[in-house]
Amino acid sequence: MVPSLRRAFNATWTPARHEAFLEDLGARVCAPIEFPVSETPCFFPRTLIDALSDAGEELTRQALSGEAATAGARVVPDRFRGPGQGEVPPFVQVDFGLVRNQAGAIEPRLVELQAFPSLYGFQVALADAYANVFGMPKTLERHARGLTRADYLSLVRTAIVGDHNPAEVVLMEIDPQRQKTRPDFQATEHLWGVRAIDTSAVVREGRQLLYRRDGRLTPIRRVYNRVIPDELERKQVSLPFDYRDDYDVEWAGHPAWYFRISKFSIPWLKHPSVPRTWFLDRVETLPIDRERLVLKPLFSFAGGGIVFSPSDDELRAIPESQRGQYILQERIAFEPVIDTPQGATQAEIRMMYVWTDRLRAVMPLVRMGRGKMMGVDHNKGLQWVGASAAFIESTDKRG
């Protein structure tokens, strides 16, 4: 996207430097990285990141207003309702693909949005490792809206920790030591002092939740919630507490927000970046050529259950009672925009937001791929794909 920077990086890349980069990254997160990490960062003009930041903010506000908000509140399963949701979500992720329009210009298309945390810690370590090993120009920015590193760390700390002692804040997850996101958990503890604990480690005493920290039973004042409801349901995990009960605990991301702002919101959104989208139970005849359609379950995570060009048999296989849990969406034709030694590669850009005093875009996260889907699980065995970091040219000079 910034040709001069791309050419310079490609010309100096070597396998040895890539190995050094992976070693540097591993040392920073102190955990095995069990997903592909791209051989390259991505270079973007500030104008693009600003445009994505604006679009994500507008889409989030639409999802929080009118019929979208009303319907979103109704769709939350009873098990995940409860006090402490707050008026706004503390974390929002908005994923965009880059496409080429009829005029030949690159523009964004919404892939999905979710009011759930992302890799706020790991992305810092990833960008640091790229910068350290490959000598990124110090003029390049890493955060949205011109935020400095100190700004970013402070805003995310407020969103995760609030006003509490980090020792009394926990990152709650299902079996965190076995999650692929463990490197982010390690980075979170390093940056903000918040430890990851398993859901089973929570102790309930009346209206209090506690956990053992360094052998001592410690009160939990705030939960940085990383429990994915979809996984909780699939694995039939039994919790030692009930989300519907009232505790002396703050939720940094109540599980209800996972449903309230999600793929479920997309049919109500109106923005040039939003592809045409329909609830499956409201479709009598396919709205466009099925080759241009993708079927998505509303509340699966990491691309689970997505069907491209769904056949009649695949659509008929969904019971009438469950058709409202799916959307049909116009398929996005990603444009390969990242020039690599193995050919042009597609990039999906996630704008990560926190909502403290107001909604703010804080950092881009990039996933590179060449297949139908951009998630790291769908590009195994390929090179110059996987998780990546964005470096932002602060001026509009292209080279």
Domains parsed from the chain with CATH numbers: 3-275+332-392 (no CATH), 276-331 (3.30.1490)
Residue 303: pLDDT band by 50, 70, 90 thresholds?
low
The per-residue pLDDT for 344 is 92
The per-residue pLDDT for 304 is 67
DSSP code at position 317: T
* pLDDT over 50 at 81, yes or no: yes
The per-residue pLDDT for 287 is 82
* pLDDT over 90 at 27, yes or no: yes
* CA dist 291 → 98, 299, 307, 332 (Å): 19, 23, 11, 11
Predicted structure pTM score: 0.94
> 56 or 324: which carries more pLDDT confidence?
56
Pairing of the two strands 293-297 and 307-308: antiparallel
pLDDT tens digits along 165-221: 999 999 999 999 999 999 999 999 999 999 999 999 999 999 999 999 999 999 999
Contact between 120 and 143 (Cβ < 8 Å): no
* pLDDT over 50 at 122, yes or no: yes
DSSP code at position 331: P
Distance in angstroms (rounded) separating the CA atoms of residues 354 and 120:
10
* pLDDT over 60 at 399, yes or no: no
The per-residue pLDDT for 305 is 82
Residue 377: pLDDT band by 50, 70, 90 thresholds?
low
Instruction: Find the mean pLDDT for residues 135-147.
Output: 94
* pLDDT over 90 at 299, yes or no: no
Distance in angstroms (rounded) separating the CA atoms of residues 313 and 307:
12
Q: Which two tokens mark 94?
A: 């908005």
Distance in angstroms (rounded) separating the CA atoms of residues 67 and 257:
16
Contact between 134 and 21 (Cβ < 8 Å): yes
Contact between 111 and 95 (Cβ < 8 Å): yes
The per-residue pLDDT for 380 is 62
* pLDDT over 80 at 398, yes or no: no
Instruction: Find the mean pLDDT for residues 340-366.
Output: 96
> Which residue stretches of the chain are H helix?
3-12, 15-29, 46-63, 66-74, 122-134, 149-161, 182-192, 229-234, 257-260, 312-316
Provide the sign of the torsion angle of the four alpha carbons 69, 88, 363, 146, taken in this order: positive
- Asked which of 142-156, 287-301, 317-331 is least confident by mean pLDDT, the reply is 287-301
Q: If we measure between CA atoms, which residue out of 158, 194, 199 comes closest to residue 176?
A: 199
- Asked which of 42-56, 65-79, 308-322 is least confident by mean pLDDT, the reply is 308-322
Distance in angstroms (rounded) separating the CA atoms of residues 188 and 170:
10
* pLDDT over 50 at 141, yes or no: yes
* pLDDT over 50 at 247, yes or no: yes
Instruction: Find the mean pLDDT for residues 32-50.
Output: 95
Other CB atoms within a 10 A radius of the CB of residue 292 amount to 17
- Residue given tokens 């409201």 in the structure block: 282
Provide the sign of the torsion angle of the four alpha carbons 13, 19, 25, 27, taken in this order: negative
The per-residue pLDDT for 374 is 60
Distance in angstroms (rounded) separating the CA atoms of residues 373 and 334:
10
Residue 23: pLDDT band by 50, 70, 90 thresholds?
very high
* pLDDT over 80 at 144, yes or no: yes
Residues in contact with 284: Cβ distance below 8 Å, sequence separation at least 6, in sequence order: none
Mean pLDDT taken over the chain: 93
* pLDDT over 60 at 397, yes or no: no
* pLDDT over 60 at 82, yes or no: yes
* pLDDT over 50 at 279, yes or no: yes
Distance in angstroms (rounded) separating the CA atoms of residues 184 and 121:
5
* CA dist 163 → 116, 119, 160, 168 (Å): 21, 22, 9, 10
The per-residue pLDDT for 267 is 96
The per-residue pLDDT for 104 is 87
Q: Which two tokens mark 343?
A: 């050919």
Distance in angstroms (rounded) separating the CA atoms of residues 171 and 184:
11
* pLDDT over 90 at 145, yes or no: yes
* pLDDT over 50 at 371, yes or no: yes
